[in-house]
């Protein structure tokens, strides 16, 4: 019999529990929010063996109305970006931290967006590639690294593979990993899905070395390797 998952907080431990019952708050958070989706994985065994450092990976996706649908490429994205991106950064990182057991538990992070078919990929970028989202996600998750990302334009139900790397040491190879994010009925053509993702540790069995252990590899050093 497997033990219960070790590091999940009991609901009563969540300081922000009130948000689930506070019906006075705007249901759509003032940003056209339709739904939030949490995907989380805990690997208990991989290749038949328990990881030395078990990690939990999670993504949280927010489905919002695309505020720029119908506007042309000449339109300035700044105003809506300033209004929406910080709210998403707070909402998504709150959920991530709640799911993964606290900000100290988060070791790796990533971000992503899917724009519906009536929007531009630039609309996705406007919400994840500027300081109004990225800097705040980094601050809320207490990281230093630039945040790696994925984005695409797609029909509802597209699965996005969200890349993650270490939140303070991006070159830490053991923490290069991905987590899936998918909302079955989003994005509609006029919607955007914005995603923040994180992991509490490395891949299950990391053993591909690191920059510190790598030999010098150039085309010249490889010439001595028999082919």
Partner 1 sequence: MNVRKIVTYVEEIRSEGGRPVSPPARVAVVAAIIENPWAGQGFVEDLNPGIDATASDVGALLAPEVLDALQGPAEAYGKAAIVGLDGEVEHGSALIHTLKFGDHFRKAANATTLLPAVEKRGPAGVVFDIPLKHITDATIRSHHQTIEVRIPDAPHPNEIVIALAAAAQGRPQQRLAPLSTEQ
Q: Which residues bind partner 1 (CB under 8 A)?
A: 1-2, 4-5, 8, 10-11, 14, 17, 20-23, 26-29, 33-46, 99, 159, 161, 180, 182, 184-185
Compute the least distance from the CB of residue 34 to partner 1, in Å.
Answer: 5
Compute the least distance from the CB of residue 16 to partner 1, in Å.
Answer: 11
Closer to partner 1 by Cβ: residue 98 or 143: 98
Q: Which pair of tokens denotes residue 118?
A: 């009536």
Contact 203, 174 (CB under 8 A): yes
β 159-166/108-115 pair status: antiparallel
Residues near 208 by beta carbon (within 8 Å), at least 6 away in sequence: 173
Closer to partner 1 by Cβ: residue 33 or 196: 33
Local structure of residue 129 (DSSP, 8 states):
S
Measure the CA–CA gap between 199 and 147, rounded to whole angstroms: 13
Compute the least distance from the CB of residue 72 to partner 1, in Å.
Answer: 25
β 148-153/108-115 pair status: parallel
Cα–Cα nearest to 106, from 96, 116, 114, 115: 96
Compute the least distance from the CB of residue 176 to partner 1, in Å.
Answer: 17
Compute the least distance from the CB of residue 91 to partner 1, in Å.
Answer: 10
Closer to partner 1 by Cβ: residue 55 or 138: 55
Closer to partner 1 by Cβ: residue 20 or 211: 20
Beta strands in 116-158 (DSSP E): 148-153
Residues near 45 by beta carbon (within 8 Å), at least 6 away in sequence: 51
Compute the least distance from the CB of residue 37 to partner 1, in Å.
Answer: 5
Closer to partner 1 by Cβ: residue 50 or 208: 50
CA 200, distance to chain mean position in Å, is 12
Measure the CA–CA gap between 225 and 227, rounded to whole angstroms: 6
Closer to partner 1 by Cβ: residue 6 or 227: 6
């Amino acid at each position: 019999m497997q033990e219960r998952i070790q590091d999940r907080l009991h609901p009563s431990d969540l300081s922000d529990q009130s948000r689930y019952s506070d019906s006075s708050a705007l249901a759509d958070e003032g940003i056209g929010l339709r739904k939030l989706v949490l995907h989380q994985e805990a690997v208990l065994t991989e290749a038949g063996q328990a990881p030395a450092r078990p990690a939990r990976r999670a993504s949280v996706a927010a489905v919002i109305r695309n505020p720029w649908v119908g506007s042309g490429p000449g339109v300035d994205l700044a105003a809506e970006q300033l209004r929406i991106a910080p709210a998403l950064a707070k909402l998504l990182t709150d959920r991530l931290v709640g799911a993964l057991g606290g900000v100290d538990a988060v070791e790796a992070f990533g971000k992503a967006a899917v724009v519906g078919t009536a929007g531009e990929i630039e609309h996705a970028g406007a919400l994840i590639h500027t300081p109004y989202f990225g800097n705040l996600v980094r601050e809320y998750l207490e990281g230093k690294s630039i945040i790696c990302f994925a984005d695409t334009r797609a029909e509802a139900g597209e699965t996005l593979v969200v890349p993650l790397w270490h939140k303070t040491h991006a070159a830490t190879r053991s923490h290069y990993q991905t987590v899936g994010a998918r909302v079955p009925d989003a994005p509609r053509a006029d919607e955007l899905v914005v995603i923040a993702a994180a992991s509490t540790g490395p891949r299950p069995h990391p053993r591909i070395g690191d920059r510190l252990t790598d030999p010098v590899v150039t085309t010249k050093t490889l010439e001595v390797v028999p082919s």
